[in-house]
Amino acid sequence: MSHQSRIKDEFADSLFEAILKLETMEECYRFFEDICTIKEIQSISQRLAVAKLLNAGKTYNHIEEKTKASTATISRINRCLHYGADGYKMILEKLADEKKE
């Protein structure tokens, strides 16, 4: 199933092509530390943590306490999980499959 992205352009294509070239955790850290601010990396990683907890059926209170994310952020991620581009669902499935191996 194809998805028409709202962010697709030549710059996003170049960014994602670069990310797909990363092969190790070390390469990821080095690249993302240069291309993002510490706050941006923390925000993105917090969002993934929230998605994992929502997917596991945890309550907003538990998630807020564990991740320090605001309820507005949790709500936005919950909306993406249910009505978004299925990006969270896709990566959570891939991460779950990887754990099974």
**CATH fold of 38-100, please?**
Trp Operon Repressor; Chain A (1.10.1270)
- Inform me whether the pLDDT recorded for 1 exceeds 80: no
Question: Could you state, in order of their start, the residue ranges of all structural domains in the chain?
Answer: 1-35, 38-100
User: What are 9-49's pLDDT values in tens digits?
Assistant: 999 999 999 999 999 999 999 999 999 999 999 999 999 99
Quote the pLDDT of residue 2. 61
User: What are 43-67's pLDDT values in tens digits?
Assistant: 999 999 999 999 999 999 999 999 9
Output the CA–CA distances (angstroms, integers) from residue 36 to 28, 42, 43, 97, 99, in the order listed: 11, 10, 11, 28, 28
pTM, two decimals, is 0.86
Q: Give the amino acid at 17.
A: E
